[in-house]
Structure 1
Amino acid sequence: MPSACSPLLKAIPICLILTACGGGDGESATTPPPSATQPVAPIGTPVSPVSPVAPIAPATYTIAGTVTGLLDYGSLTLLNNGADPIVQTADGGFSFSVPVAAGGAYAVSVNARPLWQSCSVADGSGLANGNVTGVSVSCAVAQSMVSSIAGAITAGYVNGTGSAASFRQPSGMARDASGNLYVADYGNHVIRKIAPGGVVTTLAGTGSPGHVDGMAGSAKFVTPVGIAVAASGNIYVAEFYGNDIRKITPGGIVTTLAGSATAGSSDGVGASASFNNPLGITVDANENVYVADYSNNIIRKITPAGVVTTLAGTTTAGSDNGSATLATFNGPSGIALSASGTLYVAEWFNSDIRQISPAGVVTTLAGSGATGSDDGVGTAATFSLPVGMAIGTNGVLYVADDGNNLIRMVTPAGVVATLAGSLNPGSTDGPGSIAMFNQPSGIAVDTSGNLYVADQANNLIRNVAPNP
């Protein structure tokens, strides 16, 4: 017989099953929520990070302009607001390297200018509200100042200081490194010395014409006309009617380097060589002497040993350029030597300035062959009987234009300008064209550009100074 508990035993597994399913009340099972909190979705469109913005630089403007009238031998220095220097060596545009802030002030000024030039600035200052391009710098030949430093109008032979001294047709001029001036006193037949303080003494000669070598106080000269000083202190003198070249040592001994009283054109050594009215003279660093042999129409060279050769020209007068041996001259009167070895020759009858290159090629630097007083470039310029010449450290030639009573300058490019004097003869001191000369003959220049002129017919020694 079945047991009374059988149904219950059969039911236990069912209950266990129901219990394992979550109860037997008939409800569905629910998955419990996770224990971690879910993130909340952002509201709206995400914003990208902002990049930093570079600061805006303040506006700046350049200052620029144009230079006109600048000659070829020097340089011009300009400043803006006292700084930022610009160096100009030729006409043309310029621009300062340092800009000016918008609304800032600018002021262009001349800091340095070439010797014998003045330069002025127009439209050179204001406020920079844009790039400035209209600054104008104009240069022109500067005024000079002429004064008399020794001698008197009345000819004589008196030593002394300044106007207490007297000369008779002073012709050649030279200057040494110590600032002493030497004068070939043509009419007195002596060589004079002028110390920097204006004291005039006789260096050599007696005052009587003759040809006597020896100590300076007893030596005699005849019509000394050209003079040059070597770096050694030796002085060389060309005697116009003596037809020779004399030498004066620093010890005061006078000798004849070359030539004799007899006129001629022979090359040779010492007295075997001959000249015909030697006039201009210069000397190089090796103490070779160069002579403008006036009446022979040739240029001569003399070595320290007295060996004379013909450097350029023929004895036939002319104006032909070309190789030295084929070129012709007409009354070569003045001569000067550049640092580069170029010889410059002033011609009395051709009224021009010629140049002889170190290679021996002769060309015309300035002058047309016609007499006149025109300034200009090359053959557009004119001279009248130019004589003495000197060359400055800037390469500029200074010319005593005897027939015009003027002092001229010639740049390396052949630009001719008048520095002092008027066409009328006179002895007036003063600025530029107000000053007057009477047959200026010899000329010398110092390292500052001051000129010293033997004013022959006035019997004066004059100074031509560049105005600051």
Structure 2
Amino acid sequence: MRGLSILQRETSLQIHQQIMRFIPLLAILMAVLAACSSSPSNNINFRFVVTTLVDANNEPITFARPEGLAIDKDGNLFVAEAIGGIRRVSPEGVVSTIIQDDEVALPSKLAFDSEGNLYITESGRNRIIRVDQSGRITVVAGTGEMGLDDGDAEQAQFFLPLGIAVDESGTIYVADSGNNRIRWVSPQGEVGTLVDSEGAESGFIGISGITLASSDILYVADADGKRIHAITPEGAVSTFAGNGEIGFSNGPALEARFNGPSDIAIDSQGNFYIADLGNHSIRIITPDGHVNTAAGNGESGYGDGEGADAQFMYPQAVAIDANDTIYVADSGNNVIRVMRRVSDE
């Protein structure tokens, strides 16, 4: 892989670190402004138990600031370490490294295509890279320079790419956070812009994780905008959840409040799970359009348990396997948490 100049790498690292430093301030501001309680009530009739992911020896697995998660068709969990590489955890708890930390600069989010290729947003080099099933690394798009150029993938430019998703046709969607745009990369190697901040309702402010629903609707976690956006294939944008104000409250989706939603995933029953970073919680949006809190109580910490008894510290990413088991990148605690739905009342 081509190297990155010291100045470019330091600039990207400084930007990334500044963003990460700002995130805890959101939690402080929320505590001052939010009029609601720190642990809003739920109206769901099921509960979740949170544990910590362990290895084959039943010991907790530690990571170097986990920021992105993806699960392949065999149930292997892939973890992007913001200050490390890419690691894989098998269903049996065997941990291996598939990309060393000197092969990737500030990896952020992850996604698989239908053929089992892994895509990574390399925010430190402003590129999109692919790892095929043989382990070969390829640059898919981006020159390594910060910018906003569409066109040929080899000449296109990004600025702090974060969220990523791949549709059935092989089109890649990227949350180009520094440019506040949703970009696409076609299978033919062309880069374009689906939506920019001016085209989005209320504007994108700090987009992070994205996911695609079976309906081809793209859902975007707007961390600084405190909203979840929905985008049609034609680029029409609407607010799916959140009223745009900092807080920690449940209820009808458009009235609920978030504090830095950083990632989003959908289970087989149509429930949306949000890594609500500033509230140190995992929120759930049910198919009837209500927001509830699946786990966490609004306070940072580290504790397993049921629902509000569990604690997280700046959860950055969420992924769901074929059994609807939920995995959370608990970035502040440098571990992966596992959430399982245990009963219906």
Q: TM above 0.5, one fold?
A: yes
1:376–1:192: structure 2 CA closer, same or farther, 3 Å change rule?
same
- The structural deviation recorded for 1:440 is 0.4
Amino acid of the residue matched to residue 256 of structure 2?
Answer: A
Distance (whole Å) between structure 1 residues aligned to residue 203 and residue 243 of structure 2: 15
Larger RCO of the pair (alpha carbons < 8 Å, separation 6+): 2
CA deviation after TM superposition for structure 1 residue 358, in Å: 2.8
2:327 and 2:57 mapped to 1: Cα distance? 16
Q: Is 1:242–2:137 an aligned residue pair?
A: no
1:437 counterpart (285, 299, 312): 312
Q: Distance in 2 between matches of 1:365 and 1:164?
A: 36
| Contact 1:161–1:200 (CA under 8 A) maintained in structure 2 | no
Paired letter, 1:370: E
Report the AA paired with residue 442 of structure 1. A
Aligned partners of 1:269 and 1:166: how far apart in 2? Answer: 39
8 Å CA contact retained: 1:269, 1:306? yes
2:91 is aligned to 196
Distance 1:394 1:164 in 2: 29
The corresponding residue for 2:15 is none
Contact 1:166 1:459 in 2 (8 A): yes
For the aligned residues, what is the CA RMSD? 1.7
Partner of 2:234: 359
Deviation at 1:147, TM superposition (A): 0.3
The match for 1:255 is 138
Q: Pick from 126, 133, 148 the counterpart of residue 52 of structure 2.
A: 148
Matches within 5 A, 1:349-428: 349-428=224-303
Give the alignment of 1:296-375 within 5 angstroms. Answer: 296-314=179-197, 320-321=200-201, 328-375=203-250
Supply the distance in 1 between the matched residues of 2:217 and 2:58 (Cα, whole angstroms).
36
CA displacement at 1:162 relative to structure 2: 5.2
Cα offset, 1:260, TM superposition: 2.2
Find the counterpart in structure 2 of residue 83 from structure 1.
none
Matched, 1:184 2:80: yes
Among 50, 63, 67, the residue aligned to 1:167: 63
| Corresponding letter in the other structure for 2:129 | R
1:27-106 residue pairs with structure 2 within 5 A?
Answer: none
Q: Find the residue that maps to 2:145 and give its secondary structure.
A: coil
> Whole-Å Cα distance in 1 between the matches of residues 54 and 65 of structure 2?
13
Q: Which residue of 2 aligns with 1:135?
A: none
Percent of pairs with identical residues: 38
SS at structure 1 position matched to 2:115: coil
Q: In 2, are the aligned partners of 1:241 and 1:277 still within 8 Å (CA)? A: yes
Equivalent of 2:172 in 284, 289, 300: 289
AA in 2 matched with 1:263: M
Gap change, CA 1:161 and 1:237, over 3 Å in 2 = farther
Q: 1:414 to 1:274 in 2, by over 3 A?
A: farther
Q: Distance in 1 between matches of 2:327 and 2:125?
A: 26
The verdict on how the C-alpha distance between 1:296 and 1:407 changes in structure 2, with shifts beyond 3 A counting, is same
Q: In structure 1, what is the equivalent of residue 3 of structure 2?
A: none
> 2:10 matched to which residue of 1?
none
Q: Aligned-pair distance for 1:415? A: 1.5
TM superposition shift of 1:167: 1.1
Pick closer, same or farther for the CA change 1:320–1:249 going to 2, 3 Å: closer
Larger radius of gyration: 1
Give distance in 2, aligned partners of 1:165 and 1:400.
20
Code of the residue aligned with 2:63 in structure 1: it is F
Q: CA-to-partner distance for each residue in 1:146-205, whole Å, 9 max, x for gaps?
A: 000148xxxxxxxx75536431100000111111100011111x1100100111110122
Q: Is the 8 A contact 2:61 2:335 kept in 1?
A: no
1:212-258 deviations in Å (ceiling 9; x for gaps): xxxxxxxx100001101122110000012211100000011001000
Partner in structure 2 of residue 274 of structure 1: 157
8 Å Cα contact 2:299/2:311 also seen in 1: yes
Distance of aligned partners of 1:360 and 1:445 in 2 relative to their CA distance in 1, 3 Å threshold:
same
Q: Which runs of 5+ in 1 are unaligned?
A: 1-138, 152-159, 209-219, 322-326
- On the 8 A contact 1:244/1:275 being kept in 2, the answer is yes
Q: CA deviation at 1:402?
A: 0.5
3-state SS in 1 of match to 2:44 = strand
How far 1:320 moved relative to its partner? 4.6
Compute the displacement of 1:465 (Å). 0.5
Q: TM-score, normalised by structure 2?
A: 0.83
Distance 2:129 2:160 in 1: 14
Unaligned 5+ runs, structure 2: 1-42
